[in-house]
Amino acid sequence: MRCRLISDNTDTLIGMRLAGVEGVIVHTREETLSALSQEMHTQGVAVVLITEKLAALCAAEVQELKMNMPQPLLVVIPDRHGTSNMTAAISRYLAETVGIRI
C-alpha cells in the first residue's frame, strides 16, 4: 500500500519524497480535482495527503470524499506556509465525522 501527496508547494513534495512519498504539484482547482480523482481511484494507494491550501480550493469535494470513501484515507496536511491549528482541525474532524466534541 502506497501513500501519495497532492501539493501546491515544491518544498513539501521534496520533503515527502525524502520519506518515500511520491506526489504531484498542482495549482488550480481543476488540477486539484483531477489529481484527487486519479489518486483516490488508483489501486494500491492507502493514504492520499493533500495540502491545506489545495483542500481549501475544493473544500466540498474533499469533505465528500472523506465522508463517503472508505479507502484510501484522505488527510489534509499543513505545508510550510500552513496556518491551521492542528488540535482544532483534529477536534473539528472528530466532531464532523463521529459526533464527538472535545
Is residue 96's pLDDT more than 80?
no
80 φ/ψ angles, rounded to the nearest 5 degrees: -65, -15
Say what the pLDDT of residue 1 is.
Answer: 74
Is residue 86's pLDDT more than 70?
no
pLDDT tens for 23-39 read: 999 999 999 999 999 99
Of the two residues 52 and 96, the one the predictor is more confident about is: 52
DSSP 17-66: HHTT-EEEE--SHHHHHHHHHHHHTSTTEEEEEEEHHHHHHTHHHHHHHH
Query: With 0-12 CB in 10 A as exposed, 13-18 as middle and 19+ as buried, what is 9?
Result: middle
| CA 93 to chain CA centroid, nearest Å | 13
